Structure 1
Amino acid sequence: MSRSRLTPEREAELFDAVLDLLREVGYDSLTMDAVAARTRASKATLYRQWHSKPELVTAALRHHSGPGADRVDTGSLRGDFQEMMLRVDDCQLEKDSALMRGLTLAVNTNPDLLRVLQEKLIEPEQNELRVVIDRAVARGEVRTDNPAREFVPHMLFGAFFALQMIEDRVPNRDFLTRYIDAVVLPALEAR
């Protein structure tokens, strides 16, 4: 990404508009023209900053995700997971679930989107989560050789999609807390 001449406030405004448009029209119908019109920015500015629609969408998602999981350190793995849950309210979880379902469909026909999402959003978030798990290992809560360690991102991300498919509802903080206590922590044999 080229050096930003946008203020952090203006960037946040652009990212909010991108996510709102994504929720309204979906990825395939989202255009740089629509973003430019919604934000009263020039298309040239958008392309100069982000080069492509996948780059802009991913930057908006990354910005929206807030501080990384690796910045959470309560002294216990369960406490870290609970602290991560407190960062998002149930209304935001519902919005995010709808957004992620839409993007999941979009990556099937947009390989550039998938590549950029993996590179700039998914891999960094997995790395942040590894830091949290590695700290739990260092504290003696999780065994170094526990094979479930590599599947924590799959378990956590999977909860969002499975609940929708199985029960036709989106996860809330209560569900995610119970899921972590019943599935993730036992799989890790966290003490």
Structure 2
Amino acid sequence: MEGATRRRGAALEQAILRAAADELTESGYAGLTMDRVARRAGTNKNAIYRRWPNRASLGVAAYRQLAEVELRPPDTGALRTDVLTMLRRINSDQSSPRGDVLRGLLAAVNDEPELMAQLQSQFTDGGAGAWLTLLGRAVARGETSPEALHPRVATVAMALLRNEYMTRGLATVPDTTIVEIVDEVFLPLLKGRERPGGSR
């Protein structure tokens, strides 16, 4: 456990979260243990328990860090390809080991409202910050109006994608559906929010 006595505060917390995230990725929630995380982080279980009282709370915190990485907005130089890239990445993730991790966590925290709320906030807001960043770049390039920069508008595409999972029971949706969401709904919605006369 070399280094355990030298790290404090945020540095140690990040080391634990990285270790837990790696364990989740490799072994899923079922394989996550405090012992394995402590060994990987080069610390002891007491340091973990002081921050996260149980395996579920640590798992949720680690998953949220994984999800934040996944929701980093692409920057392809064009709004349409940015949105398609973002939705395709999220869609692919649903059938990846990370999707299995999320399903395991949701089952584990079903009776813990606070942890459930933390998990749900990761996907019910559709990653509004990432989508607003993506749209902000498009505004700067002159591709859309500043009126598009509203959280409900920014997350419409993600909400429609999520609706496909929920109503159709799909693990992933066909790429044609993603293209339809972007071309038939999201981009026309942004176009409709332009100022009269098309000025930006």
TM-score range, shorter chain: 0.5 to 0.7
- 1:5 aligns with 12
Tell me the distance in 2 between the aligned counterparts of 1:155 and 1:124: 9
- 2:141 pairs with 1:139: yes
Tell me the distance in 1 between the aligned counterparts of 2:21 and 2:51: 12
Task: Structure 2: state its 5+ residue gaps.
Answer: 1-7, 195-200
1:9-48, CA deviations, whole angstroms, 9 ceiling, x for partnerless residues?
Answer: x7544213245443x49xxxxxxxx621444644323224
1:79-110, CA deviations, whole angstroms, 9 ceiling, x for partnerless residues?
Answer: 222443565683x4313445445656677643
- 1:152 aligns with 154
Residue 145 of structure 1 aligns to which amino acid in structure 2? E
Residue 171 of structure 1 aligns to which amino acid in structure 2? T
Residue 78 of structure 2 contacts residue 138 of structure 2 at CA under 8 Å; is this kept in 1?
Answer: yes
Q: TM-score, normalised by structure 2?
A: 0.61
Tell me the distance in 1 between the aligned counterparts of 2:115 and 2:172: 25
Which has the higher Rg, Structure 1 or Structure 2? 2
Identity of aligned residues (%): 23
Residue 36 of structure 1 aligns to which amino acid in structure 2? M
Residue 58 of structure 1 contacts residue 120 of structure 1 at CA under 8 Å; is this kept in 2?
Answer: no
Report how many residues are paired: 178
Compared with structure 1, are the counterparts of its residues 129 and 165 closer, same or farther at alpha carbon in structure 2 (3 Å cutoff)? Answer: same
Compared with structure 1, are the counterparts of its residues 54 and 181 closer, same or farther at alpha carbon in structure 2 (3 Å cutoff)? Answer: farther
Q: TM-score, normalised by structure 1?
A: 0.63
Compared with structure 1, are the counterparts of its residues 173 and 108 closer, same or farther at alpha carbon in structure 2 (3 Å cutoff)? Answer: same
The alpha carbon displacement at 1:133 in A equals 1.2
Please tell me the root mean square deviation across aligned C-alpha atoms, in Å.
Answer: 4.2
Task: Structure 1: state its 5+ residue gaps.
Answer: 26-33
- 1:165 aligns with 167
